[in-house]
Amino acid sequence: MKLIHAAEFLAGARPLFILVPLVWFLTQTIKLVMILILERRLDFSTYLATGSMPSSHSALVSTLTAGLFIIYGYDSPFFILSLFFSIITMHDAVKVRGAVGNNTKAMKNFLSDIIDREYDKKKLIIKALIHKVKKSSKEKRKKKRELSRIYKMQKELKDLRQLEVVLGHTLLEVIVGALFGIICAVLFFKFIKR
């Protein structure tokens, strides 16, 4: 196994600083296009969302690992570290984040009745406050305070409905993401980086 200085590593791995973020962007764009085709809606929040096909986490780490393999070979410490990092990341995407997503869904179902009752109660309070402010002949400062209270409650209402489910990945999504990342790295170094 040969030792590589930091400067040599950075010089050799420079293409990865372009390729890895590009693959992440392409993966998220695939998700955007799939939502556009399947659900007929354009949702740019997909770029920040988790879960779905293919796994951008897997694509990103497998691109890095494949790129380091192509640049430095199988006996490189960079490749070996990246390989272990990739395995841990993909395992986490399937097992840990999947379990968290399932727990959040279960909790959301369990709390749905409580949330619905609280939602209805706050909606009635807001309606009464708005009616009170419209009818009131109070000075402007007091009306502003009441309106501020209404807006705060409306935000709480919105937050109550949006218990975010952090999605993990299925094994298939992780495998497809990993294959996509490896293919992108191979194609990049075969045709673009000469």
Residue whose C-alpha is closest to residue 185's, from 72, 53, 89? 72
Enclosing H/E stretch for 111? helix 97-135
Q: What confidence score (pLDDT) does residue 184 get? A: 94
Q: What is the pLDDT along the chain (194 residues), one digit of tens a residue?
A: 455 555 555 566 788 888 999 999 999 999 888 888 888 888 777 777 777 778 888 999 999 999 999 988 999 888 999 999 999 989 888 877 666 666 667 777 776 677 677 767 777 777 777 777 666 666 666 666 766 776 776 676 666 556 555 566 788 889 999 999 999 999 998 987 65
**C-beta contacts of 25-28 below 8 A and 24+ residues apart:** 26/59, 26/180, 26/184, 27/54, 27/55, 27/56, 27/59, 27/60, 27/177, 27/180, 27/181, 28/56
Q: Among residues of the chain, what percentage have pLDDT more than 90?
A: 25
For residue 88, the model assigns a pLDDT of: 92
Looking at residue 140, what is its pLDDT? 64
On whether the pTM is more than 0.85, the answer is: no
Distance from C-alpha of 37 to C-alpha of 31, rounded to nearest angstrom: 10
